[in-house]
Amino acid sequence: MTPWTSQLYFGDNLSVLREHIPNESVDLIYLDPPFNSNATYNVLFKERSGEDSAAQITAFDDSWHWTMDSERAYQEVVTDGPDKLGKLLQAMREFLGQNDMMA
């Protein structure tokens, strides 16, 4: 059986990377801002006629909060990540403080 060369994962990118992607195998991750817009984004459908459909799927909520998960992710990068990245995050936290923007 030939392994897949392309796969699409649905979920939180950090969880997907940790659970499904081998270490040191990713060269680039592209993120598409805006971030922390405090909006709920939906996938909207149209009827064949072109009219809006009542059907929709909530895609994601773009509202971030500093939580225990945020703190764990921060600590993981600072202690186990590349040294320069850890120092950058520490400087950002010193500047921004521990708040939703830092999340």
Token couple for 35:
């971030």
Tens of pLDDT, residues 3-35: 767 777 777 778 888 888 888 887 777 776 666
Token couple for 100:
């939703």
Nearest to 19 by CA among 7, 37, 3: 7
The pTM of the full predicted model, rounded to 2 decimals, is 0.49
Tens of pLDDT, residues 30-54: 776 666 677 676 666 677 787 766 6
